[in-house]
Chains A and B, each alone.
Chain A
Amino acid sequence: MIDDSDSAGRKPTSATGQAGLEEARLRQQAIGVKLRHLFDEVVNEPVPEEFLAILRGADDRKIGE
């Protein structure tokens, strides 16, 4: 989990400052959600058969060594 301290940890000097920090925090959260989505998009792709075939080949290679 990303540490939000540099956007939410500072003490605001005014109501405007507080609103600004809150806005920055929301934006960082939104980027975090999208970042995870970007990564999960690939994680959720079906694994190409080639990967499993290579691992099966590793077994054969070991036995034949």
Chain B
Amino acid sequence: MASTKPPAPPKPPSADDAGFKRELVTLIPHLRAFARTLTGDPTAADDLAQDAMMKAWDARASYQMGTNMKAWTFMILRNQFYSEKRRSWRQSQLDQEAAERTLVAVDDPEAPVALDELRMALNTLPEEQREALILVGAGGFAYEEAAAICQCAVGTVKSRVSRARRALLATLERGGYERDGRAAGDAMRSILADADRLSGAVRQG
């Protein structure tokens, strides 16, 4: 039955809206980073992050201030990503081309070798393992929060992260992908050296 309730009159932005927006703005860099790990392409990632940001804004009435907005917006972004992906599942040829572009895009000769190797190794992981590892290992989420974002059980996230870590290590050590025609045999050595340098910089900072 159609509602007889008249539409709400336009109203100026409220204090709640302003607070919501302030918090949302601080999350934009994180949304961009998560989107980049899902799409692998900076332009597509920014489109996805913008869509997610607007969906979060439109759904702000359902958000409870004071709860974890980062996890909430990440869940929106992730849902948006998979929903768009499902819509375009028939375009498998285009997906293949996008995957090839992604590898080309990250193969920046100026990029530090260890990061480049890690990006490529991440691309070899199944999507669900990659996102679980990124959320917990890089995004700073607890397993419980990652489970809420991925809408699965905590045990599933733990298992995905564990499998992702083992697969990543094996890929980096053995070189499970090719780069410029040669196997990435030195990837782990380069990552260890670079991690040492970064940890040292953090300690000194």
- Interface of A with B (CB < 8 Å)? 1-3, 6, 24, 26-45, 47-48, 50-52, 54-55, 58-59, 62-65
Contacts and interface: CB of A to CB of B under 8 A. Distances in A.
Interface of B: 10-13, 17, 21, 24-25, 28-30, 32-33, 36-37, 46, 49-50, 53-54, 57, 114-115, 118-119, 122, 133-134, 136-139, 143, 158, 161-162, 165-166, 168-169, 172-173, 188, 191-192, 194-196, 198-199
A50 B46 CA distance: 10
Contact of A63 (B10, B57, B115, B119): B10
B169 A2 contact: no
Given A35-B133, A38-B118, A30 B49 contact: no
Nearest to A64: B10
A51 B143 contact: no
A54 B119 CA distance: 30
Given A35-B118, A35-B134, A37-B198, A42 B172 contact: no
Contacts of A37: 115, 198
Contacts of A54: 50, 53-54
Nearest to A7: B165
A50 B43 CA distance: 12
Contacts of B143: 3
| Chain B interface main SS type | helix
Contacts of A51: 28, 46, 49-50, 53
